[in-house]
């Protein structure tokens, strides 16, 4: 089973969500606690001030023992304030007799409040203020606060806290997803560029400028790296192209005659074997023209090697001009040339090409190497042979064409002869 790995976005979302939620939870709890404490202190101060005011108000009624007036004053105070009970004691403390009292139902029963832990926490002590006249204490005013006020504050604060937490969770989730989308866009660009390079070998893509500094730095490093790789690839391709050109040149030089530019013996032997294999497979014929220059040695000895080289170059050009592009002209060595015609319909094709070659050689050659120039006559003797009519392999075919060429020379040069085994074999024995 493949191990499920954590994702970067999932971890970021988790961290952001709980960081925001926890911080807001602590902040909200501290805020509610501070608000509750401040409200209690303020309420206590208000009740203390109320007790002092009540003591000052009922002072005259206590001094003249007017309980009815004192009770009416207490009723008026109780009606407008959030308190449970207000009592006036005669004497120096609450152990004295109750002189006047006014009360109303409390939001929190004091007896239940002492038994309930939460209500006990909310319950506040009674506030007292002395009643005096001329330095003589006449009594004490005691006020019992209605602690339901604090419970209401706690409920409202708790509701606010829950609402704030809900909003914090929602905002944290939205913030995490927004940040995820922001990161995802830039990371997707980085990932897409890396995938294109790995799978497609595409190093032409470039990343834009990112808003996040770390991603932007990474993206610029990617761009620089891809530019370097692209430059190196271009250099490698250039070197490969150069090497291919060199290889083609070397191959061409290895398979061509350096003087005349036509194919050399190695190239001809290879192409002849290929042509014979195809002819065997397809049932076709191929033809060979074995060509030897007449009087080449005399021309070379009389006019020099430069003249001989010019003659060979010119002969190669005239031979190439007399055949098809698909045919192969080769120099076997010295003044001997050979032409491969493939495919071949019959002996008439060989005779037709031979006649074109003899006609091409009838034009004189101008040698500029001599002072003032000199015209010399060209002449060739041609031997012809057909596969598979006169030979069954490359060596036999070339030998047959060579025999026919020598017969052409013996018959007076400047002509073409088809291989005839009854004649050429007999001549070979002479």
**Same domain, residue pair 297 and 417:** yes
Q: What counts of helices (H) and strands (E) characterise the chain?
A: 13, 11
Confidence of residue 429 (pLDDT cuts 50, 70, 90): very low
**Same domain, residue pair 136 and 213:** no
More confident residue, 353 or 199: 353
Give the total number of structural domains in the chain.
3
Does residue 338 belong to any structural domain of this protein? yes
**Same domain, residue pair 268 and 383:** yes
CATH code of residue 24: 3.30.450
Confidence of residue 2 (pLDDT cuts 50, 70, 90): low
Residues whose CB falls within 8 Å of the CB of residue 90, separated by 6 or more in sequence, listed in order: 62, 96, 97, 98, 99, 138, 139
Average pLDDT, stretch 184-207?
73
Does residue 178 belong to any structural domain of this protein? no
Does residue 344 belong to any structural domain of this protein? yes
More confident residue, 208 or 142: 142
Most distant pair of Cα atoms in the chain: their distance: 181
Instruction: Tell me which residue range forms the domain holding 402.
Output: 258-428
Question: How are beta strands 365-367 and 83-90 bridged, if at all?
Answer: unpaired
Average pLDDT, stretch 336-351?
92
Confidence of residue 115 (pLDDT cuts 50, 70, 90): very low
Does residue 31 belong to any structural domain of this protein? yes
**Same domain, residue pair 275 and 212:** no
CA 247 from centre of chain: 36
Q: What is the pLDDT of residue 372?
A: 58
Q: What is the pLDDT of residue 134?
A: 73
CATH code of residue 341: 3.30.70.270
Average pLDDT, stretch 56-67?
78
**Same domain, residue pair 239 and 264:** no
**Same domain, residue pair 300 and 419:** yes
More confident residue, 32 or 104: 104
Confidence of residue 8 (pLDDT cuts 50, 70, 90): low
Average pLDDT, stretch 2-14?
61
Q: Has residue 41 got a pLDDT over 80?
A: no
Q: Has residue 427 got a pLDDT over 60?
A: no
**Same domain, residue pair 228 and 207:** yes
Percentage of the chain surpassing pLDDT 70?
78
Q: Which residue in 41, 249, 243 sits closest to 153, CA to CA?
A: 41
Q: What is the pLDDT of residue 381?
A: 94
Residue 56 three-state SS: helix
Taking the C-alpha atoms of residue 318 and residue 323, their distance in angstroms, rounded to an integer, is 9
Average pLDDT, stretch 114-125?
55
**Same domain, residue pair 292 and 321:** yes
Taking the C-alpha atoms of residue 85 and residue 205, their distance in angstroms, rounded to an integer, is 84
Taking the C-alpha atoms of residue 40 and residue 157, their distance in angstroms, rounded to an integer, is 13
Does residue 108 belong to any structural domain of this protein? yes
Highest mean pLDDT among 106-115, 173-182, 202-211 belongs to: 202-211
**Same domain, residue pair 293 and 248:** no
Q: Has residue 387 got a pLDDT over 90?
A: yes
Average pLDDT, stretch 67-89?
80
Percentage of the chain surpassing pLDDT 90?
23
CA atoms within 13 A on the CB side of 282: 14
**Same domain, residue pair 57 and 160:** yes
Does residue 309 belong to any structural domain of this protein? yes
Taking the C-alpha atoms of residue 99 and residue 68, their distance in angstroms, rounded to an integer, is 10
Taking the C-alpha atoms of residue 383 and residue 405, their distance in angstroms, rounded to an integer, is 4
> Which are the catalytic amino acids?
335
Mean pLDDT of the chain: 79
Q: Which of 68-72, 215-219, 221-225, 377-381 has the least mean pLDDT?
A: 215-219
**Same domain, residue pair 85 and 209:** no
| CA 78 to each of CA 70, 100, 146, 235: distance values in angstroms, whole numbers, following the listed order | 12, 13, 11, 99
**Same domain, residue pair 292 and 251:** no
Note if the bond before 343 is cis, omega within 30 degrees: yes
Average pLDDT, stretch 395-415?
92
Q: What is the pLDDT of residue 75?
A: 81
Does residue 171 belong to any structural domain of this protein? no
Question: Contact at 8 Å (CB) between 333 and 313?
Answer: no
Q: Which of 110-119, 290-299, 391-400 has the least mean pLDDT?
A: 110-119
Taking the C-alpha atoms of residue 259 and residue 322, their distance in angstroms, rounded to an integer, is 19
Q: Has residue 60 got a pLDDT over 60?
A: yes
Q: What is the pLDDT of residue 371?
A: 52
Q: Which residue in 345, 294, 349 sits closest to 323, CA to CA?
A: 349
CB atoms within 10 A of CB 202: 13
Does residue 194 belong to any structural domain of this protein? no
Average pLDDT, stretch 154-163?
71
């Amino acid at each position: 089973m493949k191990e499920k790995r954590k994702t970067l976005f999932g971890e970021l979302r988790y961290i952001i969500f709980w960081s925001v939620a926890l911080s807001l939870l602590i902040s909200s709890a501290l805020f509610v606690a501070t608000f509750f404490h401040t409200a209690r202190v303020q309420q206590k101060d208000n009740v203390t001030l109320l007790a002092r005011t009540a003591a000052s108000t009922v002072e005259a009624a206590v001094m003249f023992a007017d309980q009815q007036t004192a009770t009416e004053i207490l009723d008026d105070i109780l009606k407008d304030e959030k308190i449970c009970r207000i009592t006036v004691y005669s004497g120096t403390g609450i152990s004295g007799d109750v002189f006047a009292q006014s009360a109303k139902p409390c939001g929190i029963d004091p007896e239940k409040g002492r038994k309930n832990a939460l209500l006990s926490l909310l319950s506040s002590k009674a506030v007292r203020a002395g009643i005096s006249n001329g330095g003589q204490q006449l009594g004490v005013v005691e006020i019992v606060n209605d602690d339901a006020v604090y419970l209401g504050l706690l409920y409202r604060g708790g509701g606010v806290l829950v609402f704030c937490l809900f909003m914090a969770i929602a905002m944290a989730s939205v913030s995490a997803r927004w940040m995820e989308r922001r990161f995802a866009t830039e990371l997707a660009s980085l990932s897409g560029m890396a995938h294109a390079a790995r799978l497609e070998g595409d190093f032409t893509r470039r990343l834009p400028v990112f808003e996040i500094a770390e991603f932007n730095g990474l993206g610029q490093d990617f761009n620089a790296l891809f530019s370097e790789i692209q430059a190196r690839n271009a250099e490698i391709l250039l070197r490969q192209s150069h090497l291919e050109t060199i290889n083609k040149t070397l191959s061409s030089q290895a398979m061509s005659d350096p003087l005349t530019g036509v194919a050399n013996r190695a190239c001809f032997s290879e192409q002849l074997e290929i042509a014979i294999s195809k002819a065997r497979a397809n049932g076709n014929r191929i033809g060979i023209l074995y060509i030897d220059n007449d009087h080449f040695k005399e021309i070379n000895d009389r006019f020099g090697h430069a003249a001989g080289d010019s003659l060979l170059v010119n002969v190669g050009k005239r031979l190439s001009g007399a055949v098809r592009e698909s045919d192969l002209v080769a120099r076997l060595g010295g003044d001997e040339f050979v032409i491969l015609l493939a495919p071949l319909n019959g002996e008439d094709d060989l005779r037709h090409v031979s006649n074109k070659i003899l006609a091409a050689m009838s034009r004189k050659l101008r040698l500029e190497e001599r002072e003032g120039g000199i015209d010399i006559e060209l002449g060739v003797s041609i031997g012809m042979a057909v596969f598979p009519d006169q030979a069954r392999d490359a060596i036999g075919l070339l030998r047959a064409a060579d025999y026919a060429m020598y017969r052409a020379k013996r018959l007076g040069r400047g002509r073409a002869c088809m291989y005839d085994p009854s004649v050429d074999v007999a001549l070979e024995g002479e």
